[in-house]
Amino acid sequence: MIPPVLARPVSDKPSWLVAAENRLPFWICENEMFRSKVMALEYATKHNTDIDLYFNDVEFSALPWTHEPPESIDYYYATRARQLREHYDYIVIMYSGGSDSSTILKTFVNNGITVDEVATYGGWSHKVNKYHDPINLEITFAATGMLKRCVDMGIKVTYLNMLQHFDKVYDSPNWVYDADPRLNADNHFKFHTAHQRPELIEMIEKGHKVAVIFGHDKPRIVFRDNAFYISYLDVGALATNVWPQMFELNYVGPAMEFFYPNVEVPEIMIKQGHMIMDWYIKNQGAHCRELLRMDWLYDPKYQSRVNTIMYPTTWRETETYSIGKPSTTYTWLWKSEFLIDHMQDTRQNQNFWDGLSRIKTSIDSRFWGRLGLVGHWTKFYKLREVQDL
């Protein structure tokens, strides 16, 4: 049951925007609600407790997770695309060239569902190399072909430069309270770049329903107590690109829509869970007990494997350029080494490090992991119980 304190204050926002907001994740600590994970962890540190991740718990708890939907996964992707198209006047697909956003874009295009705009993003300046800096490599080498196809089809393609907001994003060490829970520098630019575009805000002020669609990360399949469960992890997955600024009462901007984990077409999540679980049972057998544990030993090949499983007709890992996942010392520098390599003498760069240093002392050490903040899980939903794996 949702604590009474979580009820939203009365707002004059359009109902479609309020509804979209309420489907995004947030954190709870001692019956208090937080849209910022950093603030939630500081509160938990002060009160010597922990936090819980809330994500549509009531709606998801009522779903038939043990029953695999009968149609193909592509069928449910197309159903979701049509549902979004019917609900919004203007749809922007944020396209990185990665597996998640590629499947979204191809789902719309291959099914003849209208896309108003495809927006891709990078960091371009005289200090950042278009062809060598990690922030740009996926766009440069993976996204080009599909973007050309969109242009040929008459779809508007927009190239967004995140670095134009460099001064604004890191104007003080307090940036950490407005960041998404991964604290990744690359992601932090995207709120201003994707959600505060003047042309989108103008549409909204004229009464149009506008949505920005991101391809968020994968569900996690966990094996414990002789059963397979599905869940989502906030750091580096579910809550990536979810910013506290979006939930201020004075926020004006497009709604953010998760394409995969959602209330409207939940068959996507259930189908994905069963597809992944069945692959592990067939190909790993009893080894699942170790590979799908809830700790840092979790299958290191999981991301690559589930790409192939979940996107059977839209993605080929071996045929597509990818920079992979974090290889730096800290998650927050993934794809953002330019902050050190190119901008180390700026005030903003100092604010970046000062912000991180501040919360290293204000958040208890038990909330820090090898690559940054520890992850918190949504509720676990049982897919199948097995006794003889």
Residue 55 has pLDDT above 60, yes or no: yes
Residue 162 has pLDDT above 80, yes or no: no
Sequence length of the chain is 389
Helix boundaries (H) for the chain = 15-21, 37-47, 57-61, 73-87, 99-110, 134-142, 144-152, 166-169, 185-188, 190, 198-205, 267-284, 288-291, 302-310, 338-341, 347-362
| Torsion of the alpha carbons at 58, 60, 62 and 67, rounded to the nearest 10 | -170
Q: Which two tokens mark 389?
A: 């794996």
- The per-residue pLDDT for 258 is 92
CB atoms within 10 A of CB 388: 5
Share of the chain above pLDDT 70, in %: 81
Residue 328's domain comprises 4-385
Q: What is the pLDDT of residues 335-348, one digit of tens each?
A: 566 666 667 778 88
Number of domains, the chain? 1
How confident is residue 9, by pLDDT bands cut at 50, 70 and 90? very low
How confident is residue 147, by pLDDT bands cut at 50, 70 and 90? confident
d(CA 175, CA 169): 7
Q: Which residues pair with 358 in a beta bridge?
A: none
| Contacts with 382 (C-beta within 8 Å, 6 or more apart), sequence order | 65, 66, 227, 228, 229
How confident is residue 124, by pLDDT bands cut at 50, 70 and 90? low
d(CA 213, CA 262): 12
Q: What one-letter code names the amino acid at 185?
A: A
What share of residues in the chain are helix, strand, coil (percent, to 5)? 45, 15, 40
Q: Which residues pair with 54 in a beta bridge?
A: 26
Q: What is the pLDDT of residues 201-235, one digit of tens each?
A: 999 999 999 999 988 778 999 999 999 999 999 98
Q: How many CA atoms lie within 13 A of 201 on its CB side?
A: 12
Beta carbons of 306 and 218 less than 8 angstroms apart: yes
Summarize the confidence of residues 259-265 as an average pLDDT.
95
Which has the minimum average pLDDT: 9-13, 32-36, 282-286?
Answer: 9-13
Q: What is the pTM of this model?
A: 0.88
Concatenated DSSP letters for 16-34?
HHHHHHTTS-EEEETTEEE
| Residue tagged 């920079």 (tokens) | 323
